[in-house]
């Protein structure tokens, strides 16, 4: 069927009700989206969308038509996934979402090895500290850190990910060193705005739980920006060890080391599928090997 190539375009427009958003999600131009819709409408002899300069909405015929092609498209994807299990080659395009700091410091360094192992596979890597919608945004897999929200996604644990409280020597010389959690109320405690466990800092000591809500002059959505503020003597921050072990740990002073922080983990997350595409399976296997017990990357993250 000639119109089948347009199925993902029609579905994307129906979901977004926006040509601009659909074009962005499919890496197409807005004019390309419009042309594809018109060709299908002309072939069918019906109007699928009401379109103005500002709005897009489905016609009654469009709702009925797209409800059927959605099912057909999903079946076609499933058929492709099943067929891929019988192939010795890993092909197609793998779209990956990852947090900015972890992605640039670790994942980006691993990917050349992965791509050398699977040269016929195209890889698209996107960095974003926000939790992306894998299905709506068209990602095959995401690397996520910390507590995961309830969802239909499948999560594979890759590695523990520890954190610690840090300040610079210059800051501590000016404002003193906190010796207990309650002392943090007197300090400039900077925070990471996308911290998955929430904004509360939690500590444990001898079975007791202690908590602190950080209040400071700097709140940012990127851990590498946060560590730069710490090194510039601005304040105290809770930092993941996958950054501190690489980016100037000799300039940082660990604080409240007689307390334990909650355990967090790094996960590979992907949409639930009856048949897991080969490209996703081989990437998960690759990540698990990279973060295996005793590996270089796991040591950096856990230290």
Domains of the chain, earliest start first: 2-84 (1.10.10.10), 92-159+265-302 (3.40.190.10), 163-262 (3.40.190.290)
DSSP state of 126: E
Percentage of residues of the chain with pLDDT beyond 70: 88
37: closest CA among 52, 53, 51? 51
Length of the chain (residues): 303
pTM greater than the 0.85 cutoff? no
pLDDT score at 88:
62
pLDDT score at 190:
95
Cβ atoms within 10 Å, residue 123: 16
Picking from 41-45, 216-220, 299-303, which range would have the lowest pLDDT averaged per residue?
299-303
- Whether the per-residue pLDDT at 134 is higher than 90: the answer is no
Structure tokens, 117: 């192992």
Question: What is d(CA 96, CA 268) in angstroms, rounded to the nearest whole number?
Answer: 10
At residue 1 the predicted structure's pLDDT band, cuts being 50, 70 and 90, is: very low
């Amino acid at each position: 069927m000639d119109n089948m190539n347009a199925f993902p375009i029609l579905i994307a427009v129906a979901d977004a009700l926006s040509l601009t958003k659909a074009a962005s999600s499919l890496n197409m131009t807005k004019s390309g989206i419009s042309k594809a819709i018109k060709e299908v409408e002309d072939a069918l002899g019906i109007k699928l969308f009401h379109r103005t300069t500002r709005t897009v909405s489905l016609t009654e015929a469009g709702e009925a038509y797209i409800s059927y092609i959605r099912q057909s498209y999903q079946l076609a994807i499933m058929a492709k996934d099943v067929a891929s299990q019988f192939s010795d080659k890993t092909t197609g395009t793998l779209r990956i979402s990852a947090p900015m700091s972890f992605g640039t410091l670790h994942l980006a360094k691993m990917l050349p090895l992965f791509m050398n192992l699977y040269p016929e596979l195209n890889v698209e890597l996107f960095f974003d500290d926000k939790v992306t919608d894998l299905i709506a945004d068209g990602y095959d897999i995401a690397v996520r850190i910390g507590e995961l929200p309830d969802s239909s996604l499948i999560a594979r644990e890759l590695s523990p990910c520890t954190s610690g409280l840090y300040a610079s020597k210059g800051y501590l010389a000016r404002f003193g060193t906190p010796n207990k959690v309650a002392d943090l109320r007197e300090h400039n405690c900077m925070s990471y705005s996308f911290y998955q466990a929430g904004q509360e800092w939690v500590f444990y000591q001898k079975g007791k739980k202690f908590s602190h809500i950080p209040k400071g002059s700097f709140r940012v959505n990127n851990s590498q920006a946060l560590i730069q503020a710490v090194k510039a003597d601005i304040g105290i921050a809770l930092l993941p060890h996958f950054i501190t072990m690489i980016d100037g740990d000799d300039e940082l002073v660990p604080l409240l080391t007689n307390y334990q922080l909650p355990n967090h983990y790094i996960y590979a997350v992907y949409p639930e599928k009856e048949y897991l595409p080969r490209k996703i399976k081989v990437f998960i296997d690759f990540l698990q090997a990279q973060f295996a017990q005793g590996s270089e990357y796991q040591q950096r993250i856990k230290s």
